[in-house]
Chain A
Amino acid sequence: MRDHRALMAALLALVGALFAASLLIGPAGIAPAQALAALLRGDATAEALVMREIRLPRALLAVMIGASLGLAGAAMQGYLRNPLAEPGLIGVSGSAALGAVIALQTGLAASFALGLPLAALAGAAGAVALLLALAGPRGGSLTLILAGIAVSALAGALTALVLNLSPNPFAAAEIMFWMMGSLVDRSMTHVWLALPLMVVGWALLAGLGRGLDALTLGEDAAETLGISLTRLRLMLVAGTACVVGAGTAVAGAIGFVGLVVPHILRPFVGARPSALLPASALGGAAMLLAADVAVRLVLPERDLKLGVVTALVGAPLFLHLIYRTRAEGL
């Protein structure tokens, strides 16, 4: 089992560079040297306020959410042994968004600190559990995609319904945010809101490597290699719900990251599911940082949604994967 130090180092460097770009690019047009100085100084100047309260949380959330989506995608694919599994596509993110919207509109989010991410977590957990039950342990592509379409559609419709029933005139127009995701004007409050659950989720998902490797040989073989499939399934559901729930609660549902990243990185780690987990986490962070920089560069004044960029990259790949899966027989 080879190490992939070179790959991990390259991905880390990429994340670092994109993180810096995310900090340095913005409508305020602060010169890079000045921006970094203001970030470190943290005084009461306008520059420091922009760097510390606006750009830093945005870049941090891109890393956290990107890593979460990459990790969750790699874990779900490993468990279902299906490269089409992805939290956004099969309705897990959409259900998390529904949970978040319900928490916001019922006042649950305002009544206690973790109300928002926990409600999103509940939505995500419900969706993962339902999908695993529907698609079965082997996760046949056709069942998985069909179940995902149904869950996505239902979650989207209910989210729209809750938003339409809101007494707030702006809420109704925000279905796009919840379905496509955005990191615009997020604050450190959101970082602290999402971080605790994400850390729990990362720990759970990172512990799946050995079991996912064994599952390459199928369930029976994995079980006789000493892997408890019940425990594995529970950790997967809980871990995915934690990271996707926390991320969606603060940034909306962002699709395709968990699909594209594992697909690109799989050949570089020799397709080993355990090695794919950390690589996908870094890759996801890089992809979301890049997408979030892109929305600022391409249409800076239009609040282009992140999901639009990730879908433009991801949807063609998804179609390609479906085509290939079809060739192998669904």
Chain B
Amino acid sequence: MLTVENLSVARGPCTVIDGVSLSVGPGEFVGLIGPNGAGKTTLMRAALGLLPHTGESSLAAMPAQTRARTVAWMPQSREIAWPVAVETLIALGRLPHLPRGAHLAPADRNAIDAAIARMGLESFRTRAANALSGGEQARVLIARVLAQDTPLILADEPAAGLDPAHQITLMHAFAAEARAGRSVVASLHDLGLAARHCTRIIALHHGRVAADGPPAQALTPALLAEVFHITAHVAQTPHGPVCQPLEVIR
């Protein structure tokens, strides 16, 4: 799905991403974690080909139209410039599938409706998207990403600003996408969400991969101490792995 080979990004004299290699296969829901400034956003944008970089990325090598049908990207900045209706905004996700000047086909409508249902936005359909609350806007933008109906989703902090119920709904939606054979890479700050829902954790530290594996293996006390400077309660429960940060290590 996504293959990144020896990817580096320099910003001025600083190396922000330093020779990262990884590959994400079908069915994987990857939680990209790391402290502020670890390079999560930069890694994803470079992998998409939105930033100048060295090394290889399967997405950056694609022509723009092919890439638009391969990967959907949810940027961290939640921009909705105009008071367009929620369903119109979500329909923008269908742009890569529409020939120039064509109208929405039944297949497009189905994808839009499914995305709206997935994010529980039925009652917002005709509301002006930029007048919604921050969390609601985030859900609309996630629905847009789902409507794009691509084999790969890259999302930058999609859970930020959502209430617990909607955070869990979001994680379930992404997990369902993964179960259906697609791949999801989402940067997350909430280690509990990452541990509980992701199939794989990639921890970034100073632009390098510090850990990569299933949550139970990746989230070790040593990693949490080295990368995040925290202690945490990590346990296996009947509901899956749990990770609850406890104290800052000084």
Residues of A within 8 A of B (CB): 1, 81, 210, 213-218, 220-221, 223-228, 266-267, 270-273
Residues of chain B contacted by A267 (CB below 8 angstroms): 83
Which of B50, B64, B103, B128 has most chain A Cβ within 10 Å? B64
Kindly list chain A residues whose C-beta atoms are within 8 Å of the C-beta of B103. 1
**Chain B 10-45 per-residue mask, 1 if CB under 8 angstroms from chain A, else 0:** 000000000000000000000000000000000001
The A-contacting residues of B in range 46-90, CB under 8 angstroms, are 48, 50, 64-65, 67-69, 71-75, 77, 79-85, 88-89
Bound-complex Cα distance A214 to B93 (A): 9
Other A-B pairs beyond A81-B81, A216-B81, 19, CB < 8 Å: A217-B79, A217-B81, A217-B92, A217-B141, A217-B144, A220-B45, A220-B73, A221-B75, A223-B50, A223-B64, A224-B71, A225-B93, A225-B95, A225-B148, A226-B65, A270-B85, A271-B83, A271-B84, A272-B82
Quick one: given A213-B92, A224-B72, A224-B73, are A218 and B64 in contact (CB under 8 Å)?
Answer: no
Query: Which B residues contact A (CB, under 8 angstroms)?
Result: 45, 48, 50, 64-65, 67-69, 71-75, 77, 79-85, 88-89, 91-93, 95-96, 100, 103-104, 128, 141, 144, 148
Indicate if the CB atoms of B82 and A216 lie closer than 8 Å.
yes
Assess the A216–B72 pair: CB atoms within 8 A. Answer: no
- How many angstroms between the C-alpha atoms of A227 and B65 in the bound complex? 8
Q: A1-B88, A213-B92, A217-B92 are in contact. Are A224 and B81 (CB under 8 A)?
A: no
The 8 closest A-B pairs by CB, nearest first: A226-B68, A218-B79, A81-B81, A224-B73, A271-B82, A220-B75, A271-B84, A271-B83
Known contacts A221-B73, A224-B72; A216 and B48 CB within 8 A of each other: no
Partner of B82, one of A1, A227, A273: A273
Q: What residue of chain B has the Cβ atom nearest to residue A211's Cβ?
A: B95
In-complex Cβ contact of A210 among B67, B83, B89, B100 (8 A): B100
A216 lies within 8 A of B89 (CB): yes
- Looking at the assembled complex, report how far the CB atom of A296 sits from the nearest CB atom of chain B, in whole angstroms: 36
Q: Are B80 and A226 closer than 8 Å at their CB atoms?
A: no
- The answer to whether B84 and A272 have CB atoms under 8 Å apart is yes
Are A217 and B80 in contact (CB-based, < 8 A)?
yes
A99 to B100, CA, bound (A): 36
24 pairs, A vs B, C-beta closer than 8 Å: A1-B103, A1-B104, A81-B82, A215-B81, A216-B79, A216-B84, A216-B89, A217-B80, A217-B92, A217-B141, A220-B45, A220-B73, A221-B79, A224-B48, A224-B67, A224-B71, A224-B73, A225-B92, A225-B148, A227-B95, A270-B85, A271-B82, A272-B84, A272-B88
